Structure 1
Amino acid sequence: MTKLLLSLHVLAAILAVGPIAVAASIFPRAARELLAAGEGARKGRGAGAAALLHRVCKGYAVFGVAVPVFGMATGAQLGVLTDAWLVASLILTTLAAVLLGAVVLPSQARMLGAAGIGLDEGESVPEISDPRAAAARLAMVTGVFNLLWAVVVVLMIVRPGSTTGA
């Protein structure tokens, strides 16, 4: 059972976090170009690309919940739920999830909204005074999100205090 849970955990991490990391990293540039292009870009390829990247991030974020769920189930099977490396990994995973849900996804939606994409009927268009600065901030936050996941991966591999010799 442990091998199955671990396999599901690793597969979920690769299939959920990987696409989010890539799409979120590409989004700021696509959105900056979209906002710089102005009114005529709303129906072009740039608009579609930015909207698709945002949908990928949102959709895979929901699927990404499986990563810590399978990870905790695996940790419980192995009896390591209280080990420092696992607790640190869970804290960093929670920080990454909060960053994604509270900063990255809303910033992406705001940038799309400023370009007139994805707004509901009667919803006001958010004002972004400096698209380059907004894209740069979003790229920085996305980099921190990706860095958090990289540290989690290293903790999962190194497992300080492990008796496996790794």
Structure 2
Amino acid sequence: MTKFLLAVHVIAAIVAIGPVTVAASMFPPAARRSLGAPDDALALATARLLHRICRVYAVVGVVVPVFGFATASNMGVLGDTWLIVSIVLTALAAGVLALLVLPRQSAVLETAEGVGVEGTPGDGATGARAATVRLAMFTGIFNLLWATVTVLMIIRPGSTTGA
């Protein structure tokens, strides 16, 4: 059963978290393109699609910690330091995504959609471009947290498996 739970946990992490990290990283430059060219419907559609990928896969990503807890419980490692650190970092990553990345993506999209209707970028578009820089920073933090969790899952300090 442990192998099954671990396999589902790893597959869920690859399938759910991978797209979020890639789409979130691609969003700021796509949003800047849509802000810079308000008549470019494709640029805006790209930014919308990337935001939707982030939202949908963030919800799907909930299965990763669910199966992670089940796997850890089955393996008897719930009290191990590396796992506790991983849990804290995962919670931080989820918080960054839910509280900093997704809302800022929505705000930038609203501005880009407003720019497209009016036809010319104004102060809102300039501010939104600056917001995409901050958004890129928060996305980088999110990705760094997930990379750290991945390394901890592979290395597992104190593991007796020889890894």
TM-score, scaled relative to structure 1: 0.90
> Runs in 1 of length 4+ with deviation above 6 angstroms?
none
Which residue matches 1:163?
160
Which residue matches 2:121?
none
Q: Distance in 1 between matches of 2:30 and 2:128?
A: 11
Query: What CA RMSD, in Å, does the superposition of the two structures yield over aligned residues?
Result: 1.1
Task: Report how far residue 36 of structure 1 moved.
Answer: 1.6
Q: Distance in 2 between matches of 1:96 and 1:128?
A: 28
Q: Distance in 2 between matches of 1:128 and 1:68?
A: 38
Tell me, what secondary structure is at the counterpart of 2:113? coil
The Cα offsets for residues 54-100 of structure 1, whole Å up to 9 and x where unpaired, read as 00000000000000000000000000001000000000000000000
Which residue matches 2:29?
29
Letter paired with 2:90 = T
Q: Which is richer in helix? A: 2
Letter paired with 2:52 = R
Task: Report how far residue 134 of structure 1 moved.
Answer: 1.1
Pair 1:18 & 2:15 matched: no
Letter paired with 2:4 = L
Tell me, what secondary structure is at the counterpart of 1:130? helix
Pair 1:133 & 2:130 matched: yes
Which residue matches 1:87?
84
- Aligned 8 A contact 2:44 2:113 in 1: no
Which residue matches 1:60?
57
Task: Report how far residue 133 of structure 1 moved.
Answer: 1.7
TM-score, scaled relative to structure 2: 0.91
Letter paired with 1:37 = A
Q: Distance in 2 between matches of 1:93 and 1:16?
A: 14
Tell me, what secondary structure is at the counterpart of 1:115? helix
- Aligned 8 A contact 1:12 1:66 in 2: yes
- Give structure 2 stretches of 5+ with no counterpart: 115-123
- Aligned 8 A contact 1:54 1:105 in 2: yes
